[in-house]
Amino acid sequence: MRRLATSTATVVLLTACSSPGGYSLTQAPPKAGAPPPPLSSTAAAFTVIGQVEVPAETPGRAGSSPCLPDNDPYDELGRGAAVTVLDPGGQAIALDRLGQGVYLDVGGRRTQSVRCGFRFRLDLPEGEQSYDVEVGSRVPVRYTRDELDQKLSLSPGDF
């Protein structure tokens, strides 16, 4: 697994399972509280669950919400920001939006936190050697299929 330089904002990706559970760009997003529809493709899919971590605007208790991102330069990486996955040809194949920010427990202190975490979930079709992940209007970052099976961190300087 490649190791990237650390910075103040991080994208964490985890592969959750190998069954459909989210939605692709060919389907409308599920309504709040409704289970997401299966992918329309017959290709196998895998689910990527991720979290964008950024500095908080103000300190807050770990585990509480809402947590807002620091105004500059991370305000575009808060709740509602698009997370788009592109295939190697540049076609968008999956989309989700960041959820509500939660103050993160930094260093196991469970006290005041100065970092926010914004979660997302994407179902991606199998069969590609790599996938580009784009958060907000940041530059997409390429991951191999194997890298998406591991916990990955990405700092804004890399995207």
User: Tens of pLDDT along 86-113?
Assistant: 999 999 999 999 999 999 887 766 667 7
User: In this structure, what are the phi and psi dihedrals at residue 122, rounded to the nearest 5 degrees?
Assistant: -135, 140
pLDDT recorded at residue 1: 38
Q: Is residue 69 part of a domain?
A: yes
pTM attached to this predicted model: 0.70
pLDDT recorded at residue 152: 55
pLDDT recorded at residue 97: 95
Q: How much of the chain exceeds pLDDT 90, in percent?
A: 23
CA gap 142, 16 in Å, rounded = 19
CATH number at residue 124: 2.60.40
Q: Cα dihedral sign for 147, 151, 155, 159?
A: positive
Angle (CA) 82-22-141 rounded to 5° is: 40
Total structural domains in the chain? 1
Q: Is residue 126 part of a domain?
A: yes
Q: Cα dihedral sign for 158, 138, 141, 97?
A: positive
Q: Is residue 90 part of a domain?
A: yes
Q: Is residue 158 part of a domain?
A: no
Q: Is residue 55 part of a domain?
A: yes
Q: Is residue 100 part of a domain?
A: yes
Question: How many H helices and E strands in the chain?
Answer: 1, 9
Q: Tell me the residue range of the domain where 80 lies.
A: 10-26+43-150
**Beta strands 92-97 and 102-103: pairing type?**
unpaired
Residues 19 and 45 sit within 8 Å (Cβ to Cβ): yes
User: 3-class DSSP state for residue 88?
Assistant: coil
Q: Which residues of the chain have pLDDT under 50?
A: 1-9, 14-41
Q: Is residue 159 part of a domain?
A: no
Q: Is residue 32 part of a domain?
A: no
Q: Which helix (H) or strand (E) holds 49?
A: strand 45-61
**Which residue in this structure is represented by tokens 């698009």?**
82
